[in-house]
Amino acid sequence: VIRKNVREIQLSIRKISEKASEKEDCVRLDIGQPSFDTPQHVKEAARNFLDEKQGYTSTTGIQKLREKIAEEESMKSGVDVRPEEVMVTTGGMEAIFALFSSRLDEDDTLLVNDPSWGPYRLISAVNGNGVEQTQYFHNGELTEDVKEKAEKADMIAINSPSNPEGRVLSRDESRAIAELAEDKNCFLMTDEVYWRLTFDEEHQSPAAFNDNSALIGSVSKNHAMTGWRIGWIVDDSENIKEYAKVSRAMTAAPNKIGQLAAFEALDNSFHVGKMRDEYRKRRDYVVEQMKELGWGFTDPEGAIYAFPEVGKDSWEFAMEMIDEGVAVVPGEPFGSESDRSVRIAYGAAEMEELEKGFERLKKAV
- As a whole number of angstroms, the distance between CA 215 and CA 218 comes to 10
DSSP bridge partners of 156 = 111, 188
Cβ 324 to a second copy shortest distance, Å? 25
- As a whole number of angstroms, the distance between CA 276 and CA 328 comes to 22
Nearer to a second copy, 229 or 340 (CB): 229
Cα 160 vs. chain centroid, distance in angstroms? 8
- As a whole number of angstroms, the distance between CA 345 and CA 343 comes to 6
- As a whole number of angstroms, the distance between CA 180 and CA 147 comes to 7
Cβ 43 to a second copy shortest distance, Å? 5
Cβ 55 to a second copy shortest distance, Å? 5
Can you state the percent helix, strand and coil of the chain, rounding each to 5? 45, 15, 40
Q: Among 215, 223, 153, which Cα is nearest to 183's?
A: 153
- As a whole number of angstroms, the distance between CA 232 and CA 210 comes to 19
Cβ 227 to a second copy shortest distance, Å? 4
Cβ 121 to a second copy shortest distance, Å? 10
Nearer to a second copy, 184 or 229 (CB): 229
Cβ 109 to a second copy shortest distance, Å? 13
Nearer to a second copy, 348 or 361 (CB): 348
- As a whole number of angstroms, the distance between CA 69 and CA 192 comes to 13
Nearer to a second copy, 77 or 101 (CB): 101
Count of beta carbons in the 10 Å neighbourhood of residue 30: 25
Tell me if 175 sits within 8 A of 47, measured CB to CB: no
Consecutive H or E run containing 46: helix 40-49
Nearer to a second copy, 123 or 168 (CB): 123
Cβ 137 to a second copy shortest distance, Å? 27
Nearer to a second copy, 80 or 238 (CB): 238
The binding site for a second copy (CB under 8 A) comprises 1-3, 6-7, 9, 11, 33-34, 37-38, 43, 46-47, 50, 53-57, 90-91, 93-94, 97, 101-105, 119, 122-123, 125-126, 225-229, 239, 242, 245-246, 248-258
Nearer to a second copy, 174 or 255 (CB): 255
